[in-house]
Structure 1
Amino acid sequence: MNRLQIFTENRPRLFGIAYRMLASRAEAEDILQNAYLRWHDLGDSELAEIRNTQAWLVTVVSRLCIDRLRVLKLERESYTGPWLPEPMIEIDPQTPELIAEFSSDVSLAFLSMLERLSAEERAAFLLHQVFDVDYPVVADMLNKTAAACRQLVHRARERVQQDKPRFQISRDVHRQLLHRFTLAAKSGDLQELTSLFADDAQMIGDGGGKIASVNRILHGADRIARLYHVVARGYQQRMQYVEVQINGEPGLLRYLDGKLDATISIVSDGEKILDLYTIRNPEKLQAYHSLVLPAFLNGNVCQGR
């Protein structure tokens, strides 16, 4: 097996690590490209010294991600409005990244919580908790002691569990609630919209300063419902909603005049919407503008009442 074949075989796992670390498909692809160049440029004697190829590749990707995440955290501090991860929209159900390495939690809510961790906490937590890498191996990858890595994971786990949604709902219930939201958002039914949200619900919108969106977290069922009521009054006949998989969960794409305008994801207790995440930043949707519309307009569009 040549070097390209070896890297390709490990690519889904490497991509899963990089995407969870950086919460950006584009950034993850850049990391994998850099990792491949390092792998390709190894001398024969260096290659012969590698006892575990996958561990070597994971180590390189993890270290590259830590360095890149430190830079990104500084950039995201000056981001206009709330920052949300770049969504992963499922186009082809056979895509390896989405089958092999996205079976565990990569929801927008989960990735947003990971943003509160330091780069090393995030790496240690993901490697151990998500990818089941033993502490001694994690320690070697991060150039730390096993005890230090245990402490990193312990702190990260406490912070994540503290903020993790308390409710696990079935996919069918999730889809039913999304369908109700779609009909209400399309029609602008204020009463129905209000009834869908918990009293203390919050909406987080990411326009990146490039397109209109909520510039701060919007709190309360009434305020969120009124926003969608106003949007429907202004754009009702121009909007279409398409159900897809976003970061491993049922979600929605909103089209305006046939062009992808936003992704919508929710967190729910099974009865009410607790959190709503909407991404409108064109840079984060760019990869899907030409792919999603042809793939899903055949029979999966919700036109509303």
Structure 2
Amino acid sequence: MPVTTGEEISASERTLASTFTGHRSHLVGVAYRLTGSVADAEDAVQEAWLRLTGLSREGRAGIRDLRGWLTTVVGRICLDRLRSAASRRERYVGQWLPEPLVTSGEDDPLDAVVRDDGVRMAALVVLDRLTPEQRVAFVLHDAFGVPFAEIADALGCAVATARQHASRGRKAAAEADPPPRVALEEQREVLERFLRAVASGDVNAVIGVLHPDAVLVGDGGGRAKTAFNVVSGADKVARLILGLMRRYGDVEGRPVLVNGDLGLLFTAQGELTPRVEAVVVRDGKVAGVYDMSNPDKLGHVPFPEGP
């Protein structure tokens, strides 16, 4: 039996840690896309690291594709979290939205995650409608190319069943038809027109920059004020927004990147509690506003001091 020195073990562990760090951004992206939760994503990646380091040297040597192995492990961990979250969502007050990823665009470590088109808010909202099995199978296969045999192992089902889960998730996503991501310059132009219309207080002006099928979805979790039900249609959305402006007064939202798209960040201002708004653009108009004000989902958001 070969003798392994402490120095060799230490060097091996450092190499493993360095290799894992190289995959970390990818793994966080996988976990966030599967759970819609920043905290759950971070925990899943940490758990994957612990499972990797818990293997024997022989076990690690038997891993032919470490990135693929870690992706599947993260998928299995996220499946457990999705299943346990299902009952919590049934008791949730109001609408449920994913936790927003607010980035600066300036060497932000999450930039690699939000560049993925599948992480945009409109796409994540669709994924939230899938069963845990459909979400894991669909995302792991279609987005990350994990073979169905490995997905079936993660789900604890037959390969044919894993294929069926992915197919149903794919069909649901296609039928939902979330708006595709548009260029940031177009988003900026639409957002500026929208803010000018809101500032004017003219309901017709606001309706003019909203898509006919515009929706406003709020997530306060019973802990912060926002729309309790989904508001649909340009007229209803416009009147709600202007009503809120009259109630809260002259509040200022800072343009930020929310899941890779332009949105607004509001600090506490008067009666208005801190929140993040993701804005979705379609056909040159605002098609969706996702208002996230539940403080439990904003703990990771870098709110600046002051309004």
Q: Same fold (TM over 0.5)?
A: yes
Change in CA separation of 1:189 and 1:250 when aligned onto 2, cut-off 3 Å? same
- Offset from partner CA, 1:164-211 (integer Å, 9 cap, x none): 235664332222111122223344333322222234422111111001
2:259 alignment counterpart: 247
- So what's the TM-score if we normalise by structure 1? 0.86
Instruction: State the partner residue of 2:20.
Output: 7
Q: 1:24 to 1:271 in 2, by over 3 A?
A: same
Paired with 2:73 and 2:185, the residues of 1 have a C-alpha distance of 40
After TM superposition, give the deviation of residue 78 of structure 1 in Å: 1.1
Q: Is the 8 A contact 1:253 1:260 kept in 2?
A: no
Structure 1 SS opposite 2:119: coil
CA RMSD between the two structures: 2.5
Q: Is it true that 1:273 corresponds to 2:276 in the alignment?
A: no
Label 1:71 to 1:105 Cα distance change in 2 as closer, same or farther (>3 A): same
For the 8 Å contact 1:21–1:65, the answer to whether it is kept is yes
Structure 2 gaps, min length 5: 1-13
Q: 2:37 is matched with which residue? A: 24
Unaligned runs of 5+ in 1: none
Structure-2 separation of matches of 1:8 and 1:50: 17
AA paired with 1:277? Answer: Y
Q: Distance in 1 between matches of 2:180 and 2:117?
A: 16
1:18-167 → structure 2 map (5 Å cutoff):
18-99=31-112, 102-165=115-178
Highest Rg: 1 or 2? Answer: 2
Structure 1 CA distance, aligned partners of 2:150 and 2:106? 32
- Please give the alpha-carbon distance, in whole angstroms, between the structure 2 residues aligned to 1:204 and 1:252: 15
Comparing 100-109 and 148-157, the one that deviates more:
100-109
Distance 1:163 1:93 in 2: 33
Kept in 2: contact 1:121–1:153 (CA 8 A): yes
> Equivalent residue of 1:93, what SS?
coil
1:216: which partner in 2? 229
Offset of 1:220 from its aligned partner? 2.6
Instruction: State the one-letter code of the partner of 2:266.
Output: R
Structure 2 length normalisation: TM-score? Answer: 0.86
Maintained 8 Å contact 2:275/2:292 = yes
State the distance in 1 between where 2:287 and 2:153 align: 40
What whole-Å deviation, never above 9, does each CA across 1:235-271 have from its counterpart, x for those lacking one?
333x112111111112122334399722222333223
| Cα separation, 2, equivalents of 1:201 and 1:59 | 37
- 8 Å CA contact 2:141–2:148 kept in 1: the answer is yes
Using the TM superposition, name which of 250-259 and 29-38 deviates more: 250-259
**Alpha-carbon distance in 2 for matches of 1:245, 1:101:** 9
Q: Which amino acid aligns with 1:247?
A: N
1:185–1:261 Cα change, 3 Å:
farther
Q: Percent identity?
A: 35
Q: 1:21 and 1:198 mapped to 2: Cα distance?
A: 29
Contact 2:213–2:234, Cα closer than 8 Å, also in 1? yes
Cα displacement (A) at 1:143: 4.4
Mapped contact 2:72–2:146 kept (Cα < 8 A): no
| Matched residue SS, 1:293 | coil
Deviations 1:1-54 (A, max 9, x none): 533222211111111111011101011111122222222222223223323222
Distance 1:240 1:228 in 2: 14
User: CA separation of 1:122/1:293 partners in 2, compared to 1, >3 Å: closer, same or farther?
Assistant: same
* TM-aligned CA distance change 1:92 to 1:272, over 3 Å: closer
Deviation (angstroms), 1:89 = 0.7
